[in-house]
Amino acid sequence: MESDTKLNKQNPFLDGTHDPSLISWLDSANGHPLFSIHNLPFGVFKDSDGVRKCCVAIGDYVINLHGLWAERPFTGQGEVGLEALTDTSLNRFMSLGREVSKKFRQSLSQALTLGSDCEPLIRRALLPMSDVSLCLPCQIGDYTDFYTSIHHATSVGKLFRPDNPLLPNYQWLPIGYHGRASSIHPSGTMVYRPVGQCLNPDTQTPKLKATAKLDYEVELGIFIGQPTRAFEAVTIEHAEEHFFGVCMLNDWSARDIQAWEYQPLGPFLSKNFMTSISPWVVTAEALAPFRVPPTHYANRPKVVTLESNENSAFGGINIQMTCQISTAQMRKNGIPAIKLSQTSFKHAFWTINQMISHHTQTGCNLNSGDLLGSGTQSGPNAEEAGSLIEITRGGQEVIALPENEFRGFLEDGDEIELSGFCESENGLRIGLGTVVGRIAPALSSANFSQQGGV
């Protein structure tokens, strides 16, 4: 899928850190497919004593920001930001707002640019990326999952409600549900097959069993930066101030549990057992060159409270999102993972700022480190479907894999890898990194009878 993003000189979010000609004194950063000098994503790692420390990815290294603070390389708001990054999570830095994060980014970019006097100071804080163990980047107090892809909503709606796939409220407000922050885990955490109530079509009595329809969802995770005020709605014009950054997100789903429980209040146990996120937070500032107008959808109603000139011009982000699968048999025989789909976040029906503004409309406050899920991202074409339930039409049309294997839904030993990147026509590229999860058998399945009712 080719990029269609150009650097728009009218883009109000651009500054010197987005100059395509920037070159770093760190050789591995130049031309790096993920972590060039134009990215500078934040993360948290554990040091040799198990202490969590904030860091920034650059090339094949991470910058230990706790160690960099000892060098005192910055002044002004750049220094304010660096001091907050001596914490064991990103939350305090996030809370300082976009002006501080922007100034810190500018200071760090200048320090990493070829010819900078700060090179010796930064070098002393560098650690090989291969030597660090990454954690969740912040304390996630709340998690809300949205449903922003009209293509996914329509495809799944046809399976659950053939006569009424897209409910009338969809085009008037961003649909979402409150998820479980306690079950959000970093990439690489094992995904244990969940156990729950399922109703077989030939009976009226549900059974408690391990899900037979385990699925993935290709999503974007959105982190809240500066908190909002309780009882005050954030207008669409001010929502950008609270947008900190993004990661890749996989909201694992048990479709048979979901089909039984989702009416009338929506997903519950079918979603709460596991959500995986990539460890790097790519900031809103880094995404600036890839802002695009939201995709136009014909006959879309105009929701005045969720419209602004800026959102109409730059509310979309062209983030390419890819899903790959490898099975236990494939790995055993040395066969690399294969791509299941690729889509773009630019197809989202609702933008990030619309999600933020709508979430606060009743006065609900958002806190620093809160996570919003975009919902499964699917494009208009079949090869852009963001979940197996779409690709296989609910398991009715299995897909063929190497080694004469077939899948309707995921089996134990399957590994799903989601990745994301942005690329402009002039070659500017940044990556979101990957989120990986491997399916393991249900931990509690031995405690439940596969026969008989609940």
302 phi and psi, to 5 degrees? Answer: -90, 110
**What CA–CA distances, in Å, run from 194 to 208, 209, 256, 259, 272?**
10, 8, 11, 15, 10
Between CA 146 and CA 166 the distance in angstroms is: 15
List the catalytic residue out of 18, 32, 152, 358. 152
Q: Read out DSSP for 119-170?
A: HHHHHTTEEEGGG-EE--SS----EEEE---HHHHHHHHHHH-TT--S-TTT
Contact of 280 with 303, CB cutoff 8 Å:
no
Between CA 240 and CA 234 the distance in angstroms is: 10
H or E element at residue 312: helix 309-314
> Furthest-apart CA pair in the chain: how many Å?
73
Q: Is 27 exposed, middle or buried (0-12, 13-18, 19+ CB in 10 A)?
A: exposed
In this structure, how many other beta carbons lie within 10 angstroms of the beta carbon of residue 258? 23
Q: Is 238 a catalytic residue?
A: no
Between CA 268 and CA 261 the distance in angstroms is: 7
Listed residue (97, 95, 183) closest to 136, CA to CA? 183
Helix (H, G, I), strand (E, B) or coil at 381: coil
> Catalytic positions, please?
152
